[in-house]
Homo-oligomer: A and B are copies of this chain.
Amino acid sequence: MDKSQLRELLSLVQQGQTTVEDAMSRLKTLPFEDLGFAKVDHHRSLRNGFPEVIFGLGKTKEHIRAIMDNLNQHKSNILVTRVEQDVFDFVKDQFPAAQYHTLARCITLENNPLPKKPGEILVVSAGTADLPVAEEAYVTASIMGNSVEKVYDVGVAGIHRLLYNQEKLSSAHVIIVVAGMEGALASVVGGLVDKPVVAVPTSVGYGANFGGLSALLCMLNSCATGVGVVNIDNGFGAAALANSINSLTEVS
């Protein structure tokens, strides 16, 4: 409810076209539905540009199916992240148009495929073990209405593989860099381009990697500018930020 809607509502009350009780009711009605165990936030597509995404980790199959069902009835586009194949098997009969993305561990159901925005998002990853995170970013950015390109397995230990792809780096509007171990790829990419870089540290590695801490600290301390960091392994969050950035090109 924004300023002009508030003005209009108050005018209706003033003119006697709306009762006080009705106005109170409308002022209090909020666009979420309470399923008991969850409050589905339908307003989010207005407020944040995409319906509430279902973070699958730690939710039961039944809960996921119920939330999908609720969103599906509103004809929303649906994205479920961090789910294994068995969750998809559990829901696929009810949602025949849903797709499972094995590597990305996501379910998508596009009721209204969004038109592609003009700018391109590029997903760059350091090693093959980073692919699940990179693919989660790819699937997320795609369903949110972006053209997405990939450059995989270009870690800094063989920097010629990255330099070979410099044109792709240059033509993208936003670059998502996915890297584990020492995470140095974000700094190198950040130094090569003048576009926003969204850095995703991954938990790929062992020992003094400490579950992704090494890549996280590396990216936060990047000597390159224009780098924003999201949580370890958070491919979805990186894509959501990249989408938010890429949406600006439509604004102006």
Which among B24, B58, B152 is the interface contact of A6 at CB below 8 angstroms?
B24
The reply to whether B14 and A248 contact each other, CB–CB distance below 8 Å, is no
How many angstroms between the C-alpha atoms of A37 and B130 in the bound complex?
Answer: 10
Tally of chain A residues near chain B (CB < 8 A): 115
Chain B, Cβ-Cβ closest to A153: B39
* Among listed A86-94, A107-115, A233-241, interface-contacting one: A233-241
The reply to whether A230 and B230 contact each other, CB–CB distance below 8 Å, is no
Flag A31-42 by CB within 8 Å of B: 1 or 0 each: 010000111010
Count identical subunits in the complex: 8
The reply to whether A47 and B192 contact each other, CB–CB distance below 8 Å, is yes
Which among B3, B182, B219 is the interface contact of A167 at CB below 8 angstroms?
B3
With an 8 A cutoff between CB atoms, is A205 at the interface?
yes
Which among B152, B164, B206 is the interface contact of A57 at CB below 8 angstroms?
B206
With an 8 A cutoff between CB atoms, is A96 at the interface?
no
The smallest beta-carbon distance between A154 and chain B, in angstroms, is 7
The reply to whether B207 and A231 contact each other, CB–CB distance below 8 Å, is yes
Which among B131, B182, B188, B195 is the interface contact of A221 at CB below 8 angstroms?
B182
The reply to whether A194 and B226 contact each other, CB–CB distance below 8 Å, is no
Chain B, Cβ-Cβ closest to A224: B157
The reply to whether A39 and B161 contact each other, CB–CB distance below 8 Å, is yes
